[in-house]
Structure 1
Amino acid sequence: MLSNDKAGLPATILLIRHGETAWNADKRLQGHLDIALNAEGERQAALLGAALASEPIDHIVSSDLLRARQTAEAIARPRGLAIGIDRALRERCYGGFEGLLYSEIAFRFPLEFAAWQARDVDAVLPLGANRGESFRQFFERSMRAIMAHAAAHPGQTIALVAHGGVLECAYRDALGLPLETPRDFKVLNASVNRFVVEQGRLRLLSWGEVAHLQPAVLDDIG
């Protein structure tokens, strides 16, 4: 049970993107498709776990997708913590775009691709193995999940292991960036991104920490 002296304190969130996958390297859109880390992603996850081993973390929660769970396990293993699983921390669902290279998406779905690249946040994606989300729907889902974990653990530090899109949503929310504006910031594999939640709002403390990783890591495909 949380002690009363922490009840009014802000939660600290370490928002972490999963390590690299083969599809990240190929610039193939993953979305809700369940892709494992590649060898480089496993290396990144191990380095991430070692870098965070001495930091106070009270809870670790992961997206249910394998690439996030594998990354979370590397953080949890040295400290003996259990991992909570939250499907709401999944990447955006891209419907019929999923599993395709950017060039393939542009060829097969030219109108939908153009709306996506133009930052139409309410654009409907084509149906695929999964039903796609608009960016606005995805933003609302991601922020509800992040803020729910913060509200459940005031005064504590939570590591949330998720995906590039979820990190983008948190960054936009913290800085008050409109959803329609281009993404001009990097979202890196196995990066640590720190926020504090104060008065029901995210405040950014640091972004894109990757000093624990060598060589350079991939940006999220934008």
Structure 2
Amino acid sequence: MRGRRIVLWRHGQTSWNLERRFQGSTDIPLTDEGRGQARRAARLLAALRPDAIIASDLVRARATAAELASLTGHEVLHEDALRETYAGQWQGLTHDEIVERYGEQYAAWKRGEPVRRGGGELETEVADRAAPVVERNADKLPDGGTLVVVSHGGTIRTTIGRLLGLEPHAWESLGGLSNCSWSVLGESLRGWRLLEHNAGSLPEPVLGDDD
């Protein structure tokens, strides 16, 4: 077994995050606080000695990834397939505005039904484009190697769901990621397994009967 590891790291804070405004694929930069979050998190993640870094090409992910790249010396591979879900008419609206204007659509999405939010992408379509990019780059890792993927909350959740083999209606159960927090997948004999979720500290080994 190769024992590889994938760290899926969400970008730092943006002004639209603070306003609870749906970003989707809109290209919104980090706030000063978001850049600080990225610098702090990068110092931790650098201790994992990642072998490669890939990132969404949206500016908030690019800036987050650049903080880790500056510490590790790795060149970041930017992939548009790692962008956040395109959500059409929802993009730019606040949470309250979405519930007011698209209440039934929002409720169906929260129930785990396939919904084109605002006429945009299905979550399965996001996984279709993002998960293969992550898998392809993970396949290049050496034994015991670590890949850091810098992306967006929705894209990370759907990618984790796909890599774990979960049914799409169950992906919402993974919950969201805080700004600049990450989730860790580890390779096992039966495929990928979730080791850490929405973490802000370094992964600890599992000691006990479930190892």
> 8 Å contact 1:174–1:204 — kept in the other structure?
no
Partner of 2:199: 209
> 8 Å contact 1:29–1:101 — kept in the other structure?
yes
Give me the whole-angstrom Cα distance separating, in 1, the residues matched to 2:190 and 2:111. Answer: 31
Partner deviation per Cα, 1:149-195 (whole Å, 9 max, x = no partner): 11233423211101101221244345544321343534121113211
Give me the whole-angstrom Cα distance separating, in 1, the residues matched to 2:127 and 2:90. Answer: 18
Partner deviation per Cα, 1:39-61 (whole Å, 9 max, x = no partner): 21111001011122332111111
* Superposition deviation, residue 118 in structure 1: 2.9
Give me the whole-angstrom Cα distance separating, in 1, the residues matched to 2:163 and 2:82. Answer: 17
Partner of 1:48: 41
Aligned counterpart for 1:135 among listed residues 102, 110, 123: 123
* Superposition deviation, residue 112 in structure 1: 2.9
Partner of 1:146: 134
Aligned counterpart for 1:124 among listed residues 111, 116, 123: 116
More helix by share: 2
Give me the whole-angstrom Cα distance separating, in 1, the residues matched to 2:58 and 2:188. Answer: 29
Aligned counterpart for 2:179 among listed residues 164, 186, 189: 189
> 8 Å contact 2:14–2:60 — kept in the other structure?
yes
> 8 Å contact 1:53–1:79 — kept in the other structure?
yes
Give me the whole-angstrom Cα distance separating, in 1, the residues matched to 2:108 and 2:160. Answer: 22
> 8 Å contact 2:124–2:158 — kept in the other structure?
no
Between the two proteins, what is the percent identity of the paired residues? 31
Structure 1 residues 210 and 160: CA distance shift in structure 2, 3 A: same
**TM-score, normalising length: structure 1:** 0.80
> 8 Å contact 1:14–1:192 — kept in the other structure?
yes
2:146 partner amino acid: T
3-state DSSP of counterpart to 2:17: helix
3-state DSSP of counterpart to 2:157: helix
Alignment RMSD: 2.3
1:196 partner amino acid: G
> 8 Å contact 1:10–1:154 — kept in the other structure?
no
Give me the whole-angstrom Cα distance separating, in 2, the residues matched to 1:164 and 1:111. Answer: 22
Give me the whole-angstrom Cα distance separating, in 2, the residues matched to 1:107 and 1:133. Answer: 21
Report the more deviating stretch, 165-174 or 82-91: 165-174
